[in-house]
Structure 1
Amino acid sequence: MPTPESRPRVIVIGAGIAGLAAGCYAQMSGLDSRIVEKHVLPGGCCTAWARQGYLFDYCIDWLIGTAPGNDAHRIWRELGALDGKSVTNFEVFNRVVDERGREVSFYNDPDRLERHLLELAPGDAGPVRDFCRDLRRFTALDLYPFLTPPPLRTARERLELLRTVLPSFRLFWRTGATSMDAFCARLKDPLLRRAFPFVFFQDHEVFPLLPYLFNMAAAHRGNCGFPQGGSLGLARSVEARYTGLGGRIDYRAPVARILVERDRAIGVELKDGRREFADHVVAACDGPTVLGRLLGGRYSSPVTRALYDEALHKPESLYPGVVSAFIGLTGDLPPGTPHSTTYLLSPQDSARLPAVRQDSLVVQLRSRYADGFAPPGRSVLHCTYFSDFGYWQALRSRDRTAYRARKREVADFVRGFLERHYPGTSQRAEVVDVATPVTLRRFTGNHEGSILAWKSFTEAERLTERLVAKERMRLPGLAGFSMTGQWVTGGGLIRTASAGRFAIRYLCDELGMPFRAWPSDNDTPWHPDRWGELPQLGSRATYLGAAPA
C-alpha cells in the first residue's frame, strides 16, 4: 500500500454521481483524490431544492439496484448510497390517461397486467399475451454488468456473463430488435396503441421493447424502487461515504481549464485563478464543455468527433430538456391516486404549454414516494414535459421578463389542469415553482439542459461503448486524463455510478495498483437532517399563495 506521501494524486471535476463514485473508488484503492465542484452541493442532476418547507425532488423516478443480490445493488452498497434507508416499491410502473378519461395502468406483475389489458382491449389478446409472456421471462433474469469494464473482465467474469446471456439470447435479440412503434402497430385499441410508449412516463421514441420489459421486471422483483431521501439524499449519502474515506470536496470551485504540459494533464485552473495539481485528472462533467472549453479543442479521437461534432447535433441522439412544475398543496390527493400518471393532452391543452414536444404531461405525487418531501398535512406534485432548450434559452437571453411570464403560463396551466382532474387543488396550491431546461443548464452545465445525455439504442450509444471499451475513457495523445459520467456511458444513475467505477479501474490497471472496493457498513437510519442546508435556488417561486377567487 502506498504511503500518504507517495499516493498518486487525482483531481475529479464534478461532484455528480459519477464524480462522487470515482472519488470513492479512488480512495478505496489507495489514491489521494479531491473533487472540485462548481455548485454548492453534490449530485449534479441528482438534486433537489426547497421552497416554503417543501422539498422539490428533481431526479429519481426509479433506481435500479434497490434489492440485494445483484451487481447494481453491490455498487450502491459500496458507495453507501442506500445506507440506513427504506425503499418504496410500487405495483404500477405508470398510469396513462387519454383526453376522454380512459386509462390504463401498467402493473409490474405480468399476470395482473395481462388481466387488466385484456379487460380493456380483448381484441388485442395476441400482442398483449406476447408482451406479458416476455415480461415473465425477464423477471427470471438478473443481468447488471456494471462492475468491470469489458477489457478488464476476468475469464470467470466473462463465463458468468455468458451463462446468463446465452440461455436468453433469443429473448434479448428479439425484444432488442423490435421497436415499440412496431409493437404498437399490432394493437387495435387506440388507447393501448398510444399508451404503451409512455410506460416510462415520456415517450423515449427510439426505444425497443427490451428496456420496458427489463425495468418493469426489475420493479416486480423490488429492484427498481425509490430510496428514502430521494435524489439529494442519494447524493448526500455518497458524499458522506467519500469524505468518510478521506476524500475532499471543494464546492463553489468552477474549473476554467485543464492544465496540460507536454500532452499530459497535470491539474486544473479554477475560475478564480487558483491552480491545483495532480498526477491524473478525471473529468466527470459536461462532455462538450470538457472537450471544447476545458481542453481548448486540442484533443479528440474519431469516436469523440463522431459523438461531439456529429451526434451531438442530431435530435435523435440526445435526450431533450424537461420543464418541471412543482406544486405544494395543503392536504392530499385521494388515497387511490397513483404515484405517477401520464396525461395525453388534447391539441387545445398542448397548445397552451410552451415548447411542448410530445403532447403529454406527467404528474407524479412525490409525497407518496418518500417521507419528508412536504410539511405535515401537505403534499407535493411534480409535473413534467419534454421541451426544447433553444426556445427557453432564446427567450431568457432576449427578454427576462417574458421568460418569467412564460414560466408563469406553465404554472397557471398546471394549476388549471389539476383542478379539472382533482377539483379543489387549485385553491389549495401554496407554492408553484417552474424549472426549465435553462435552469438545469445554469446549475449543472449540462449541454442544452439534457437530462440524460445520449439516448440509448442509437448510434451515439454504440459510440460510447467504443469510448469505454476500446479507448478506455481516454483521449489519444493526452496522458494523465480520463472522462467519465453520462457523457461517456449514457445516462441513468446506475450507469453513471458504474462509469466512475470504470474510470478508477482503468487508472489502477495503468498504475499497476490493485483496485479495491468494499461495502459501506454504516447502518445509521436515514434522517432528514442528512439533506443538510437545502438550497433555495433563487429568490422567489413562480407562484406563491392561494388561488384568486
Structure 2
Amino acid sequence: MARDNGPDWSERGASADGTPRVIVIGGGVGGLSTGVYGQMSGLQTRIFETHVLPGGCCTAWSRQGYIFDYCIEWLIGTGAGNDANRVWRELGALDGKTVRDFDMFNKVVDEDGRSVTFYNDPDRLEAHLLEISPADAEPIRAFCADLRRFVKIELYPFLTPDPLKSVGEKLRTLLKVLPAFRLFWRNAATPMHRFADRFSDPLLRRAFRNIFYQDPETFPVLPYLYNMACAHNRNAGFPQGGSLGLSRSIEERYLALGGILNYRCRVDKILVEDGRAVGVQLKGGARHYADIVVSAADGYTTLYGMLEGKYTSPAIETLYGEMLDKPGILFPAVVSAFVGLTGDFDPDDSHSTTYLLSEEEGRRLPGALQNSIVVQLRSRYSDGFAPPGRAVIHCTYFSDFHYWRRLRSEDRKRYWAEKREVAQFVREFLERRYPGMNERIELVDVASPATTKRYTGNSNGSILAWKAFSDAEDLANELVNKGRMQLPGLKGFYMAGQWVGLGGLIRAASTGRFAMQYICKELGREFRAFESQAGERWHTGKLGPFPQLDKALDKQAADRPARAARGGDAPALHATIV
C-alpha cells in the first residue's frame, strides 16, 4: 500500500524545481500528520518508519482471522462541526467510515458483584448513582451538574499553536473560556482522588477513580467531565476500522497527496552541519538530505540517540533526566490479552467493564500496578474484528515496564512463563464471569510492555507518553509554545508526536499541524489545509496485509483443530506477541 522507494534524496542541494524537502522520522499518527500537512502546503516530504505498518501504537495485528485492535478506546473528534473533527477530515482519517457511539463510558464492578455504570447522559447518570447511594446525593449532583455544563462547551484547541494565533483567534478562545473560567479552574484544581473520597459508598469511592478504565492516579476531575461530555455529544466515538484503520486512512491520504513513505527504515542519526539539521543517516549507513528534519519518534531516542544529547535545555534535561523514570509522570505501560472465541455476547453486556480485584487476584497478574483488570468486548466496537460466528475480547491492566524488560532480557524462559500466566488468569477470570466461555475460547494472545517498546521504540513502553496534568505538562507545553517545537542551538529541526503533545490521538495529530505551521513560517510559505474529498466506503480490505509475527505458532494454531478432533490438544494458551 505504501511507496517504499521514491526519488533519490542521497545528494545535497535543492530539488529540481526548488521545492523545499522535509524528512519526517516516524510513521505514527504524529509523523503521518506532519507529512500530510506538508504535502498540502506544497512541500516535498518523506517519512522513514522502522516498522512495516503505519501508526506506531495506533495499530492492530491479526491471528487466525481475528483482528486485535490495540489502541483506540474512544476518539475525540468523531462528530461533525468542531475543530477536532476538522483535523481528522483534513487527514482523511474518517473517510468513508461509520462511527459507533456508546451510551455509557465504562462500567465498574467490585469483588462482590456490585456495579456502577457511568452513563454519558448526565440525567441518566445522576438517577443511577442516586439509586446506588442516596446518602451521596451532594457529590453526585455536583458531578452531574458540572457534566451538564461541559456538555454545552465546545473547546478543541487543535488547529493552531498559541504563538501563531491571531488576535482574533485568541479573542474568540477567550470569549469561550471566560464564562466557564470558574468551572474549568475548580475541576482542574480538584484531584479525582480527593473528589472520590467525598463519597460514603465504598463502591463509588473506587469506581470514580476508574471511569477511564484504570486509575490514572494524578488526574483532576476536569478530563473526566470533558471526555464524558464529548461522548454524550457523539464526539468521542469509535471509527470503523479501529486503530490500524485510522492509521491506514491517513497513510492513504498522505500517499494520494504525493508523499513518500519508506518502511523498514530505522534512522540512527540526524545529520547536523554548522548548527543546522540537514538530513538523516539510516541503519546500514544510507544518508538522505533535506531542508528540514522533523522527528515524530520517541523523544528520548531522538534527543539522546539520534542527536547524541547535544541540543538540550534545562526543561529538556528535567523532562528526560529527572522525570522519565519518576512514578506518575509517564502514562503507565499496559499488558494486553486478546481472546478469540466462538459465539457472541449477551446484547445487554457492557462493551467495557473494569473489574476491581481482591489483593489475592491482583497478585496473580504479573507486574500489575493496580488490583483491577479491564474487559472490553471489542467485537462491539467495529465490524470485522472477528471471523463470522466469533468474537474478540480485549483484557488490559497497567503494568510495570521494568519488570517485563528485565525478564525479557535476563530470563526469557520466565518471561514466556509469565505471559502464559496472564493468559491462564484471563481464561479463568472470564470463565467465572461467563460460565461456559472456557470451552469457547480458541486462543489467547498476550502483549507485554516490552512488546510495545520493541515495536514502537516508546520509552518505558508507554503508549501515551507524558501524563497530562502531571509535573511534565508545563515543560512539554514550553517546548511547543516557547520553543516552537525546536531545540536550542539547532536550526532546521522540529519535534512532533506524543512526546510533545502529551498523549491522545487528536493531540498527536495536532502536533503535525502545529509543526508544519512553524515550518511554513520559517520557509516563508503559505500553510495550507483542506479536507479530504475521498468518498470510497471503508472496508476491512483497506487494512492491508498484516506482518507475520510468529510463523511457528501460526502453523501450530492452524494444525490445532485436526489434533483437537483426535483428542490431542486443549484450547490455545499461547502468548504469541513477543
The TM-score range, normalised by the shorter chain, is over 0.9
Identity score, percent: 62
Contact 2:443-2:571 within 8 A present in 1 as well: no
Residues 177-204 of structure 1, C-alpha deviations (whole Å, 9 max, x = no match): 1111111111000000010010010101
What do you get for the CA RMSD once the two structures are aligned?
1.5
> What is the alpha-carbon distance in structure 2 between the residues aligned to residue 175 and residue 371 of structure 1?
37
The 5-angstrom pairing of residues 336-415 of structure 1 reads 336-415=348-427
> What is the alpha-carbon distance in structure 2 between the residues aligned to residue 97 and residue 207 of structure 1?
21
Aligned to 2:288, what secondary structure does the other structure show?
strand
> What is the alpha-carbon distance in structure 1 between the residues aligned to residue 15 and residue 290 of structure 2?
16
Aligned to 1:316, what secondary structure does the other structure show?
coil
Aligned to 1:231, what secondary structure does the other structure show?
helix
- The offset of 1:334, in angstroms, is 1.4
What corresponds to 1:192 in structure 2?
Answer: 204
What corresponds to 1:525 in structure 2?
Answer: 537
The 5-angstrom pairing of residues 269-280 of structure 1 reads 269-280=281-292
Contact 1:432-1:542 within 8 A present in 2 as well: no
Residues 477-503 of structure 1, C-alpha deviations (whole Å, 9 max, x = no match): 011100111111211000000001100
Opposite residue 348 of structure 1, the aligned amino acid is E
What corresponds to 1:508 in structure 2?
Answer: 520
What corresponds to 1:63 in structure 2?
Answer: 75
What corresponds to 1:50 in structure 2?
Answer: 62
> What is the alpha-carbon distance in structure 2 between the residues aligned to residue 103 and residue 542 of structure 1?
42
Contact 1:267-1:280 within 8 A present in 2 as well: yes
Contact 1:434-1:542 within 8 A present in 2 as well: no
Q: For structure 1, which runs of at least 5 residues remain unmatched after alignment?
A: none
The 5-angstrom pairing of residues 89-488 of structure 1 reads 89-488=101-500
Contact 1:93-1:106 within 8 A present in 2 as well: yes
Contact 1:411-1:543 within 8 A present in 2 as well: no
Aligned to 2:68, what secondary structure does the other structure show?
strand
> What is the alpha-carbon distance in structure 2 between the residues aligned to residue 45 and residue 537 of structure 1?
16
- The offset of 1:541, in angstroms, is 7.1
Contact 2:334-2:397 within 8 A present in 1 as well: yes
> What is the alpha-carbon distance in structure 2 between the residues aligned to residue 88 and residue 120 of structure 1?
28
Residues 96-147 of structure 1, C-alpha deviations (whole Å, 9 max, x = no match): 0000100000000000000000000110000000000000000000000110
Runs of 4+ in 1 over 2 A off after TM superposition: 535-548
Aligned to 1:433, what secondary structure does the other structure show?
strand
Aligned to 2:274, what secondary structure does the other structure show?
coil
Contact 2:159-2:514 within 8 A present in 1 as well: yes
> What is the alpha-carbon distance in structure 1 between the residues aligned to residue 319 and residue 150 of structure 2?
32
Aligned to 2:144, what secondary structure does the other structure show?
helix
> What is the alpha-carbon distance in structure 2 between the residues aligned to residue 4 and residue 209 of structure 1?
54
> What is the alpha-carbon distance in structure 2 between the residues aligned to residue 536 and residue 396 of structure 1?
21
What corresponds to 2:11 in structure 1?
Answer: none
Contact 2:130-2:136 within 8 A present in 1 as well: yes
User: TM-score, normalised to structure 2's length?
Assistant: 0.93
Aligned to 1:237, what secondary structure does the other structure show?
helix
Opposite residue 268 of structure 2, the aligned amino acid is A
> What is the alpha-carbon distance in structure 1 between the residues aligned to residue 327 and residue 102 of structure 2?
32
- The offset of 1:3, in angstroms, is 9.0
> What is the alpha-carbon distance in structure 2 between the residues aligned to residue 445 and residue 22 of structure 1?
19
- The offset of 1:543, in angstroms, is 9.9
Contact 2:64-2:554 within 8 A present in 1 as well: no
> What is the alpha-carbon distance in structure 2 between the residues aligned to residue 541 and residue 164 of structure 1?
54
What corresponds to 2:566 in structure 1?
Answer: none
> What is the alpha-carbon distance in structure 1 between the residues aligned to residue 434 and residue 403 of structure 2?
31
Contact 1:461-1:489 within 8 A present in 2 as well: no
> What is the alpha-carbon distance in structure 2 between the residues aligned to residue 342 and residue 424 of structure 1?
21
* Bigger shift: residues 392-401 or 352-361: 392-401
Contact 1:333-1:422 within 8 A present in 2 as well: no
- The offset of 1:536, in angstroms, is 3.6
- The offset of 1:535, in angstroms, is 2.3
The alpha-carbon distance between structure 1 residues 78 and 4, as it changes in their structure 2 partners (threshold 3 A), is farther
Among 70, 74, 82, the residue aligned to 2:94: 82
